[in-house]
Amino acid sequence: MRIRRPRLPRTRTGQRRLVQAVVAVCVLALLPATWLFTSTAGRMRTVADAPRAPVAVVFGAGLWNGEPSPYLARRLDATAALYHAGRIRAVLVTGDNSRKDYDEPDAMRTYLTEHGVPGRRIVRDYAGFDTWDSCVRAKKIFGVDRAVLVSQGFHIRRAIALCEAAGVDSYGVGVDEPHDVTWYYGGTREVFAAGKALLDTLFRPNPTFLGPRDQGVAKALAGAGSPAGTARRGNG
């Protein structure tokens, strides 16, 4: 069966309507990304000027042979720098552990301890299957009310918007990266992910796995110095 190619309109009116339709589709597609940029204005920081907060939340970004991928390693490097600068007092590492042979949180914790962050200050969230899940669980399971979020620049605005929607007062540290193939892929993916993020903030679905409350963050903060913010002991 021959597939007929669509024919472009031949009249000027038809061509004008086609152009208008294409422009309308492009505008609608970019609206969620525009919302992310406007809603997170003033919430972007660097390691040097990040506000003091009780907790840093670090999002998983893949493993290579059981160790953090280069992109994830740079997120963890920035987190270690925040800790050593006294900007944060504990770290919540959140990632995917949906199968036994893939464990992002443990790999992240190991990397951080090798870079001088005490293990007792690191809490693992094994069910951070996507950004929304991580933000909701940070609030509802671990009782985080205020945090510095750490991710790549192309992802951090979405993380801020989602954590704010989940009830976490958030600032974001966007880690710089060379503009390689992964960077361009990540940036392109974010245009489409922004649409899901907008739907998540509107409908606020439950995460894939919620589970019981966890006192890990409260215990990590206990005795970690004078409080720079608050993290509830329980569900927020």
Q: Which amino acid is at 163?
A: C
pLDDT value of position 193? 75
Question: Nearest Cα to 153, choosing from 39, 38, 57, 74?
Answer: 74
Which of the residues in the chain have pLDDT under 70?
Answer: 1-10, 12, 14-33, 178-179, 183-187, 225-236
In whole angstroms, give the CA distance from residue 198 to residue 216.
30
In whole angstroms, give the CA distance from residue 192 to residue 198.
11
pLDDT value of position 223? 72
Give the residue carrying structure tokens 């990266």.
177
- One DSSP character per residue, 152-219 reads EHHHHHHHHHHHHHTT-EEEEEEEP----HHHHHHHHHHHHHHHHHHHHHHH-PPPS---S---HHHH
pLDDT value of position 229? 40
Give the residue carrying structure tokens 């972007």.
44
pLDDT value of position 27? 45
What are φ and ψ of residue 112, in 5° steps? Answer: -65, -40
Question: Nearest Cα to 71, choosing from 158, 157, 182?
Answer: 182
